[in-house]
Amino acid sequence: MKTSVATVAVLALATLGFTSVQAADPKPKEFQRLVDAAYAKFKNLQDGKNADYIPILTKTPSELFGVVIATRDGKIYTAGDVDYKFSIQSVSKPFTAALVMTQQSPEVLDAKIGVEPTGLPFNSRLAIETYKDKRSVNPLVNAGAIAAVSLVQANSEAERWNLILQNISDFAGSPVPLTVLEDVYDSEYTTAFGNRAIANLLYNYERLYSEPEEAMRVYTRQCSIGVSARDLAIMGATLANQGVNPLTKKRVMRAEDVPELLAIMATAGFYDESGEWMYTAGLPAKTGVGGGIVAVVPGRFAIAAFSPRLNEAGNSVRALNAIRFISGELGVGVFGPNPM
Ligand code: DON
């Protein structure tokens, strides 16, 4: 009995070792076939609805859908609406967490924000009260992301904003600088009473590191940056490429900080659906209420998708299905090929 368990364990480890060390990337034709297949398979899916708590997001055409794979050596495979600019929303959060790690350290991020998944919705106030010793809980929920913005080291609000925009632009490596969708900013900032409550609560508990309304302005601007699915894929490919943008070759974060960032994305990138996501797709990822999602196959490539209709947890239905499908077809889940 003991022998057979040991044998199974050795075989399992050998398989895992083989998968992570020796697996060759698919051929370009296979990548292209899969983005086309994912697009075709889910383009008629009508489930979910556009986010409406940020009023202007109801106006994004719901049928838009794009799927992109970007590899660590800068090759890009696309299907559908991959150049439409939508608001990045929460997909910005891991990248500003990366900036905090770069300016300070992963230890500071853990000590001043926390890295624990909440199991609660992304805009939860309850999480802040429930996990009192976990700071603002983690940088991928609204509370932790507002705190992350306030933790960026700068001498003024303008400098803090410029550092955040420059950092996200460096991850995207776009030849045209990224800009804020001002109508999205206005729509969110004038209705962000829930986030304002969060910022004030954090300030009250000394877990916010700038004046609350300043953090609100910078955080809301960050969420309103316009990106395309193509931009998101390159941002993810920069993480797959250990922090070096595959197009510009610029190092955007330290290679040794990438595993910590991917760990947070794996445990909290889909909010209270993160367990379900890792169980079925097996990839660190981040979603946003604008309809974008980026997932990372560590050391290899990124898969991004965009479509505005969201499920109850605030995750794009078509985008999550497309990425999960590609992950499953390629068998690239980080713990080994996922069964679904
Ligand atoms: O603060 C908010 O509510 C939005 N700016 C971002 C939330 C978000 O994208 C959640 N993602 N699924």
- Extract the tokens encoding 72: 């660590």
> What residue's CA is closest to ligand 1, atom 4?
89
- Extract the tokens encoding 43: 């383009």
* Pocket-forming residues, ligand 1, beta carbon under 6 Å: 89-90, 122-123, 142, 188, 195, 223, 287-289, 314-315
Bridge partners for 67 per DSSP? 79, 305
> What residue's CA is closest to ligand 1, atom 1?
142
The Cα–Cα gap between 339 and 53 comes to 35
Segment among 74-78, 124-128, 263-267, 310-314 with least mean pLDDT: 124-128
The Cα–Cα gap between 283 and 302 comes to 10
The Cα–Cα gap between 99 and 229 comes to 21
What atom in ligand 1 is closest to the CA of residue 220?
Answer: 5
What atom in ligand 1 is closest to the CA of residue 142?
Answer: 1
What atom in ligand 1 is closest to the CA of residue 223?
Answer: 5
Mean pLDDT of 164-177: 94
Write down the H helix ranges in the chain: 2-17, 28-42, 93-103, 106-112, 126-130, 142-151, 157-172, 182-189, 193-204, 212-223, 229-240, 258-268, 274-280, 317-330
What atom in ligand 1 is closest to the CA of residue 90?
Answer: 9
Q: Name the residue of 289, 294, 316 to mutate for ligand 1: max ligand atoms within 8 A of Cβ.
A: 289
Q: Is the pLDDT of residue 18 over 60?
A: no
Bridge partners for 49 per DSSP? 310
Residues 6+ apart with CB under 8 A from 22: none
| pTM as predicted | 0.92
CA of 306 to the centre of ligand 1 (A): 15
Whole-number mean pLDDT of the chain?
92
**pLDDT for the residue 25:** 84
Query: Which one, of 59, 41, 51, lies nearest residue 291 by Cα?
Result: 51
> pLDDT of 137-153, one tens digit each?
899 999 999 999 999 99
Backbone angles phi, psi at 158, to 5 degrees: -60, -40
CA of 53 to the centre of ligand 1 (A): 10
